[in-house]
Structure 1
Amino acid sequence: MQNESYKLYGADISYFTGKVRAYLRWKNIPFEEIASDAGVYKEIILPRVGFPVIPVVIAPDGRCLQDSTEIIDTLESCHTGPSVYPDTPRQRLASLLLETYGDEWLVIPAMHYRWHYNRDWAIQAFGALNAPDASAEQQREIGARRAGPFANAAVLLGAEPHMHSAIEASYECLLADLSRHFACHPFLFGDRPSIADFGLIGPLYAHQYRDPKSGDHMRKTAPLVAQWVERMQNPIPLSGAFLPNDEIPQTLLPVLRRMFIEQLPVLADSARHVRQWIMEHPDEALPRVIGKHAFMLEGREGQRIIRPYSLWMLQRARDYYRSLDSENKAETDAMLRTVGGEVFLGFEDPPRLARAGLSVKVAQ
């Protein structure tokens, strides 16, 4: 299988295509990328998946894989070579947490900057993707129709007008933290990209590096982050090693701390809402969104939708944490307390979740 080519249906402007593409390149898995225009959605994605989504990977044996995390996990299980998952407890847990941060939290600045600074460019790019042979004017019309739900999602995810300055302040601090880290290490945990790097590359490549105004800003204010993006997009396959002795770099601690300050309280409140919803709707399928709740960012309070899927992502880290023996758990507990991870230590899990298409369901 390893010598046969996969098909990656995606797009340069797609958040999660960037994650999967970078993984395939580093893992040295042969693949052909097919831009997902309207014809691809009609002829390939809708018949195979059942709903419009990218990325989608078709394996040489015909299997259809969807969801970036499950794509990577499936390919890790059937391709040999170095793993993107560290095999030591602190690095493994931290990498799972940071994948959740990249996938499920950095979507806020990614969507904010795209739709509030790069909107015209994004609309044209959506049109060009969906109708590559159309005129520029037709592409803009098509792009405006196709991009509407994505633009609206920016506000639903928390980028309300009064939150813009808070989102930008948080993102600027993240760029500064990552710049200090990449001055010392080429990737998050040493010389090899981890699942955490692939989680962060989704937003930091497709939106913040490629979108013109955001990309100019990154290259000017955080050139070391831009260089990491370029390393992730053009890696030396299967190369490098994680830091020895299960080391968590000191320069990475501020990034973990930021996740625990910003995202973990939101996930804890999401779990509370999910538990309550399930109790009140015992025989109903868990919806993709269950209302809104408040969140805090840089001292400002906003509102955002409650997405149970984010809890499925965190569940991966929770499962790993619970699997640790007492000695390893004590070491990870000490690391978590160093970065303000008490919310994770005392996290009240919802009922077990399983992925179901674009959302999740209560596992049976």
Structure 2
Amino acid sequence: MKLYSGPLSLFSRKVEIALREKGLPFDREMVPFTQAKGYSPKHPAVLAANPKGQVPVLIDGDLTIFDSTVIFEYLEEAYPQAPLYPASPRDRARCRLLELTADEILLPPLRSLMTRTSPPDPDPDRQRQRMAEADRGEIQLRDHYETLSRRLGSQDHFCGERFTVADIALFMTILWVQRLKGPKLDKHPNLAAWYSRVKSRPSAGQAAAEIAAADRELSPPL
């Protein structure tokens, strides 16, 4: 099994965590990345596999797939141990919605914070606009924290007793918020405790440590 990943690819790191949770050995190739050019030029194998030219791309035998959600679902069906989805159809649906929340609802305000590790816009007005958008993104993320805190309640994991793809996706999104100096979790102790529990897992801890190392190498200080 081979995974094309990226040093600062949130979605690739999601897949790495899932592979390690399932105990699946894989070869990893990191595609070239710089803060100035991003993932350009695109890796030819990634371009050939994914029309969007994005990582992650997973190759398993004669199967090549992309998109972290599609990869999650394939891994669960092809390698059901250890399960990363709840048992019942209803709970699986709720789990998928939480992953979608991380990937599509939290991502837009998170994306506004990414300007903090991007080269400044040479136009002062555009740069001020970008920073104002980051401030608005912080407000939206605080609102999302409140919703997530209520959703988590006193559970250890978002989908009950089992660690799932919902935890992986939400952890990675919140980790990205933290690395971009977004809102802290201190006003939501249950969410902060959950975040610490996930980060203490070897799979997530390795991803977090490698992201921090990539930041030191590739990103300007925040």
Q: Secondary structure at the residue paired with 1:173?
A: helix
In structure 2, the residue matched to 1:58 is: 59
- Among 123, 140, 147, the alignment partner of 1:170 is 140
Q: Which amino acid aligns with 1:186?
A: D
Q: For structure 2, which runs of at least 5 residues remain unmatched after alignment?
A: 33-38, 206-222
Query: What letter corresponds to residue 72 of structure 2 in structure 1?
Result: I
Partner of 1:244: none
Contact 1:175 1:225 in 2 (8 A): no
Match of 1:93? 93
Question: Which of these residues, 160, 165, 182, is aligned with residue 190 of structure 1?
Answer: 160
- Aligned residues of 1:183 and 1:224 also touching (Cα < 8 A): no
Match of 2:25 in 1: 30
Partner of 1:71: 71
Q: Which residue does the alignment assign to 1:119?
A: 118
Asked if residue 14 in structure 1 is aligned to residue 13 in structure 2, the reply is: no
TM-score between the two structures when normalised by the length of structure 2: 0.68
Distance 1:51 1:168, change over 3 A: closer
Runs of at least 5 residues in structure 1 that lack an aligned partner in the other structure: 1-5, 124-143, 145-151, 153-158, 237-364
Superimposed CA distance per residue, residues 306-347 of structure 1 (whole angstroms, 9 cap, x where no aligned partner): xxxxxxxxxxxxxxxxxxxxxxxxxxxxxxxxxxxxxxxxxx
- Answer whether contact 2:99 2:169 (CA < 8 A) is retained: yes
1:200 maps to 170
State the alpha-carbon separation in 2 of the partners of residues 176 and 233 from structure 1: 27
Q: Within 5 Å, which residues of 2 pair with 1:316-331?
A: none
Q: Counterpart of 2:199 in structure 1: which amino acid? A: E
Q: Where do residues 333-352 of structure 1 align in structure 2 (5 Å cutoff)?
A: none
RMSD of aligned Cα (Å): 3.5
**Match runs of 1:208-357 below 5 Å:** 208-211=177-180, 213-214=181-182, 218=184, 223-231=192-200, 234=203
Task: Give the letter for the 1:113 counterpart.
Answer: L
* Cα offsets for 1:77-125 (capped at 9, x unmatched): 211324222222442222122122111111112201222x3435xx9xx
Question: Structure 2 CA distance, aligned partners of 1:29 and 1:106?
Answer: 29
Give 1:55 shift.
Answer: 0.8
Does the CA-based 8 Å contact 1:10-1:35 persist in structure 2? yes
Q: Deviations over 1:148-177 (max 9, x none)?
A: xxxx9xxxxxx9776655532231233345
Higher relative contact order (CA 8 A, sep 6+): 2
Provide closer, same or farther for how the CA distance between residues 182 and 108 of structure 1 changes in structure 2, counting only shifts above 3 A. Answer: same
Q: 1:106 to 1:47 in 2, by over 3 A?
A: same
* Alpha-carbon displacement from aligned partner over 1:281-309 (angstroms, at most 9, x marks no partner): xxxxxxxxxxxxxxxxxxxxxxxxxxxxx
Distance verdict in 2 for CA 1:182–1:104, change over 3 Å? closer
How many correspondences in the alignment? Answer: 190
Shift of 1:73: 1.3
Task: Give the C-alpha shift of residue 51 in structure 1.
Answer: 4.5
Structure 1 residue 229, shift from structure 2 partner = 4.5
The percentage of aligned residue pairs carrying the same residue is 24
In the alignment, the residues of structure 1 paired with residue 202 and residue 104 of structure 2 have an alpha-carbon distance, to the nearest angstrom, of 21
Q: What amino acid sits opposite 2:137 in the alignment?
A: I
- Gap change, CA 1:233 and 1:168, over 3 Å in 2: farther
| Alpha-carbon spacing, 1:96–1:107, altered in 2? closer, same or farther (3 Å) | same
Aligned to 2:35: none
Alpha-carbon shift at residue 188 of structure 1 (Å): 0.6
Q: Secondary structure at the match of 1:74?
A: helix
State the distance in 2 between where 1:228 and 1:97 align.
22
Going from structure 1 to structure 2, the CA distance change for 1:42 and 1:196 (only over 3 Å counts) comes to closer
